[in-house]
Amino acid sequence: MTREEEIEAIRYYFKSSTAHSTAAAGSSPTVTERRGEGEDEAEMEKDTSDGHFEAHPEECCGGDDNDGGEDDSSSDTTSSSDDEVSSFISATSTPSSAPTSPTIDAQRPEAPVAQIDLTNHPLLQLIHSRLIAFERRIDDHESSLAEMDRQLAEIRQEVAEMDRQLARIRQEKTEMDRRLVKIERRDPEIERQNAVVERQHRWAQTGDCEPGGRDRRTSTDNHRPRVCLLNPISGKNVSVSMGSNGRT
């Protein structure tokens, strides 16, 4: 739609609204119209009484004067419509403004404000009940978390006690390892002493002596030299240790 078509449409709108308001107000004639009708009737009666009544369509029906008046009124209406259209276009040229009509705004009834009782509204009650249930679930979760935290603290205490016991066991194991090393170091000496004791026990039972009456059990320095003597009664050799003075 071009700008001329928009101007024509707006002009038609204002003309129709003006005609509507004029038709609404035309049912009751104004004082000026009544006064004009009375003057015309008086003039007609005067001309009739004088007998000089002539048909002057220009005077009776308004003639050129009325036509000129109508033309003037139509031109005034057109100019006023153009002014209104120009003002309307200038008002609607900015996006922030909107076309308004005082007549339409005056005739438009005010919309009643709906009063809503929020305390008894079913939707609000549903939301409130769900909010209470949600808060209750949050409290349950918080209590469960508190219980889990308490159990976790107990488990941590048990783990700390187990760590202390494990450290004690490791210390005891280290001590046992040291003792084992000492025992392993003493084992050859113990075996040597056991071998000497075993030989001595065997010689004491069998009386095993070296040829020439010398005892063969002289491997250690702690034992005295022993000699084998012939027992005259039994006829067996007897191992006898010698004293410090060389006597038996």
Task: Determine the pLDDT at residue 195.
Answer: 84
Question: What residues are paired with 214 via a beta bridge?
Answer: 227
Residue 186 clears pLDDT 70, i.e. is over it: yes
pLDDT tens-digit series, residues 3-38: 777 777 777 777 766 665 555 555 544 444 455 555
Task: Determine the pLDDT at residue 11.
Answer: 76
Task: Determine the pLDDT at residue 104.
Answer: 58
In this prediction, residue 64 has a pLDDT band, given cuts at 50, 70 and 90, of very low
Environment class of 240 (CB within 10 Å of its CB; exposed 0-12, middle 13-18, buried 19+): middle
Residue with tokens 């005609």: 19
Residue with tokens 């709108």: 13
Cβ–Cβ under 8 Å, residues 146 and 153: no
- Average pLDDT in the 52-71 region? 46
Residue with tokens 């010698």: 242
Residue 142 clears pLDDT 90, i.e. is over it: yes
Residue 149 clears pLDDT 80, i.e. is over it: yes
In this prediction, residue 248 has a pLDDT band, given cuts at 50, 70 and 90, of very low
pLDDT tens-digit series, residues 79-123: 555 666 566 555 555 444 445 555 655 566 665 665 656 667 778
The answer to whether the Cα torsion of 152, 157, 163, 165 is positive or negative is negative
Which positions ≥6 away from 89 have C-beta within 8 Å? 6, 7, 10
In this prediction, residue 150 has a pLDDT band, given cuts at 50, 70 and 90, of very high
Task: Determine the pLDDT at residue 159.
Answer: 96
pLDDT tens-digit series, residues 189-243: 888 888 888 877 777 777 655 444 444 444 444 455 565 666 666 666 666 665 5
SS (H, E, C) 127-156: HHHHHHHHHHHHHHHHHHHHHHHHHHHHHH
Task: Determine the pLDDT at residue 139.
Answer: 94
In this prediction, residue 147 has a pLDDT band, given cuts at 50, 70 and 90, of very high
pLDDT tens-digit series, residues 126-135: 888 999 999 9
Task: Determine the pLDDT at residue 55.
Answer: 44
- Average pLDDT in the 139-157 region? 95
Q: Is 239 helix (H, G, I), strand (E, B) or coil?
A: strand
